[in-house]
Amino acid sequence: SCRAADGSLLPPTMNSGCRRSLGNCESTPKSGHRGAKSGSPAPRGPSTVVCHICGREFGSASIEIHAAQCARKWEANEALKPKAQRRPVPEPVQMDEGGSKEEYNEKTLKKWNDEVLLPCENCGRTFLPDRLEIHMRSCRSADGSLLPPTMRPGGRRSVGNCESSAHREAKSASPAPRGPSTVVCHICGREFGSASIGIHVPNCEKKWQATEELKPKARRRSVPTAPKQEEFESREQYNARATEVWTSEALLACPKCGRTFLPDRLEVHVRSCRSAEEHAPTGRSDWSQVEAPTIPTKPMSVTCHVCGRDFGTASFQIHLVQCEKKWEAQEARKPLEERRPVPAAPQVAANASLEDRNSAAATKWSEEALVACPVCGRTFLPESLVKHQRSCRPNLETEVVD
């Protein structure tokens, strides 16, 4: 809304659309201020510093914290490589006094590109080690053809082709792989580290003894004896002898086919193994001495005559008291004329077997605890009878007209 001396509005170039509109509305004494504004210093240089290890930019206050963490990450990644392929942590750029931050960042980026990145042997472009393998899958030569298979990242040569000849010679001179660092347990046949095998064996022996104590005394087996460590014996030789002990003493042979199994797996195998005539045993002639696995018997249980469920012999009496109280509590909610007494225990002979007693209890429960449907005559638990009656229909008999 500012106007000139003759009352006209400012021209479009001096309207509020640009910063000049403010300048025209300032007083004459502020003209000096405008001059001061036009003479303001140029924008400062970058406030970030490039990391010489990863090439990323960080604030000047946090670059030292990051550099220490970045160096540890570099060392951890290099520790995963063979010793001959490991590279040292890149050193930071040394600057003269008075050097600007732009010069430092420029030199750091050049050093990072030369020391950290790896060049592609085909096109010469530089990449991070993990990105180089991806690049080489699709990198083409000058004639447009893909790299030969020996230079693709399918094998270790993909990175080696971009390394110096001295580095490749160091890789070829790397020591041969060592023998196994694990030891076979002579009891369970599993492998453990050399430092933990001494802890495992005593625990494995205790587990063996606990398992054997569940068997009849005549069928219990002693703990397999550990093979003695011979002088100048390699670990491979000891593992072979430990495996032989485990196979001969821990496993059980099938009396039909002669194959060896763990005790729990032998029971499963015997169910489907063919007879000796169809599948002759090999390596052993006297199979009569091999004990066939016993079929586990069903645990003894007692049927409750109140609810019809089965319980162990030790817990049946505890359950019966609670079951009778539950019956009385449910009947107490009904009208007095609809209440039923607790079913009485069945009367059986003193020398009756457990099966006979359970059969009598099941009959008692079916006759006194269950309720018959007045429509179809089937018996249900009281709460189930209510649901059944919603959909039960009478069995209507149709008359046949002659």
156 band by pLDDT with thresholds 50, 70 and 90: very low
pLDDT of 163 higher than 60? no
Q: What single-letter DSSP state applies at residue 150?
A: G
Which amino acid, 270? Answer: V
Neighbours of 306 (CB within 10 A): 22
> 377: pLDDT confidence band, cut at 50, 70 and 90?
confident
389: confidence class by pLDDT, cuts 50, 70, 90: confident
Range of weakest confidence among 17-31, 62-76, 348-362: 17-31
User: Is-contact 153 136, C-beta < 8 A?
Assistant: yes
* Residue of higher predicted confidence among 304 and 386: 304
Calculate what percentage of the chain has a pLDDT beyond 70.
70
Give the tens place of pLDDT for each residue, 52-90: 888 888 888 888 899 999 999 888 888 888 888 888 989
The pLDDT value given to residue 131:
81
- Whether pLDDT at 13 is above 90: no
Q: State both tokens at 11.
A: 């021209």
User: Among 366, 364, 367, 328, which Cα is nearest to 347's?
Assistant: 364
Q: State whether the Cα torsion 68-70-71-76 is positive or negative.
A: positive
- Residue 185 pLDDT > 90, yes or no? yes
Could you give the C-alpha distances from 271 to 98, 254, 298, in angstroms and in order?
89, 11, 18
Would you say the pTM of this structure is higher than 0.85?
Answer: no
18-32, 94-108, 307-321, 356-370, range with the lowest pLDDT: 18-32
Those residues whose C-beta lies under 8 Å from the C-beta of residue 106, and which sit 6 or more positions away, are none
Q: Which residue has better confidence, 280 or 255?
A: 255
Report, as an integer, the average pLDDT of 98-111.
86
Report, as an integer, the average pLDDT of 102-119: 86
Nearest to 76 by CA among 66, 67, 86: 86
Residue 12 pLDDT > 70: no
Task: Report the 10 Å Cβ neighbour count for 213.
Answer: 9
Per DSSP, 122 falls in state T
pLDDT band at 145 (very low <50, low <70, confident <90, very high): low
pLDDT digits (tens, 9 = 90+) for 310-325: 888 888 899 999 999 9
pLDDT in tens, 212-251: 888 888 888 999 999 888 777 888 888 888 898 888 888 8
pLDDT cut 90: percent of the chain above it: 12
- How many residues appear in the chain? 402
Cα separation, 137 vs 122, in Å, equals 11
Residue 393 confidence class, pLDDT cut points 50, 70, 90: confident
Query: What average pLDDT does range 189-203 have in this prediction?
Result: 88
Residues whose CB falls within 8 Å of the CB of residue 192, separated by 6 or more in sequence, listed in order: 182, 183, 185, 200
Q: Identify the pLDDT of residue 119.
A: 86
Please, are residues 79 and 86 in contact by the beta-carbon 8 Å criterion? yes
pLDDT at 323: 92
SS3 58: strand
Cα pseudo-dihedral 240, 242, 244, 247, rounded to 10: -130
Residue 83 pLDDT: 86
**Gap between the Cα atoms of 27 and 309, Å rounded:** 103
Whether the predicted pLDDT of 42 surpasses 70: no
User: What value does the mean pLDDT take over residues 356-365?
Assistant: 88
Q: Distance between CA atoms of 45 and 100, rounded to whole angstroms?
A: 9
Q: Three-state DSSP class for 380?
A: strand
258 Cα distance to chain centroid: 38
Q: Mean pLDDT throughout 161-179?
A: 48
What single letter denotes the amino acid at residue 82?
P
The values of phi and psi at residue 131, to 5°, are: -80, -25
